Structure 1
Amino acid sequence: MSLSMEELEATAQEVLGRLKSRQLFQSEWDTAAFVVFLTFVGTVLLLLLLVIAHCCCHCCCASPKPRKVRPGKERPKGMDNWAMEP
């Protein structure tokens, strides 16, 4: 599906005419859809920036040392189920 040169020129003229008239969108729904799209793209870019910052800080900064477990003091794991008692 290729556009001919005349169709391409007509599309370019239409876009330039809208730019000159400062009416880029035909309706308020077009404007709202564009705002939603920009919000989505901005959110994705912000999340990517946060992931990159997290990865850089995690790799560069010193990681916390593991806690030492004392041999005589282990915590009991789980909890008692009193409903199972006779």
Structure 2
Amino acid sequence: MGRSADELGQELEATAQEVLGRLKSHQLFQSEWDVAAFAVFLVFVGTVVLLLLLVVVHCCCCCCSPSPRPRKVSPGKEKPKGVDNLALEP
């Protein structure tokens, strides 16, 4: 069990050294596919953040308002609660 932890630590250290080397050489991406994948990831994260922001704004505007607006319902235009079965008529 201790051996696999040592191997994991060595792999993490090697990965960290690789990332630091790329940062120093100013070459973060190996190919254009890496750039495209990173752009798609950023668009996804941006969309999620935007949706969360919209949810927070909606909750703050609707829940924190001092008086909620009552819905206007016309007394003459009530929806029927069922359908008349004309086949049962004599």
CA distance in 1, matches of 2:73, 2:34: 60
The match for 1:67 is 72
Structure 1 ranges of 4+ moved more than 6 A: none
Counterpart pick for 1:46 among 34, 47, 50: 50
Number of corresponding residues? 75
Q: Percent identity?
A: 63
Per the normalisation by structure 1, the TM-score is: 0.71
Counterpart pick for 1:34 among 32, 38, 49: 38
CA distance in 2, matches of 1:76, 1:57: 30
Per the normalisation by structure 2, the TM-score is: 0.68
Over the aligned positions, Cα root-mean-square deviation in angstroms equals: 2.3
* Structure 1 residue 14 corresponds to structure 2 residue 18: yes
* Structure 1 residue 25 corresponds to structure 2 residue 38: no
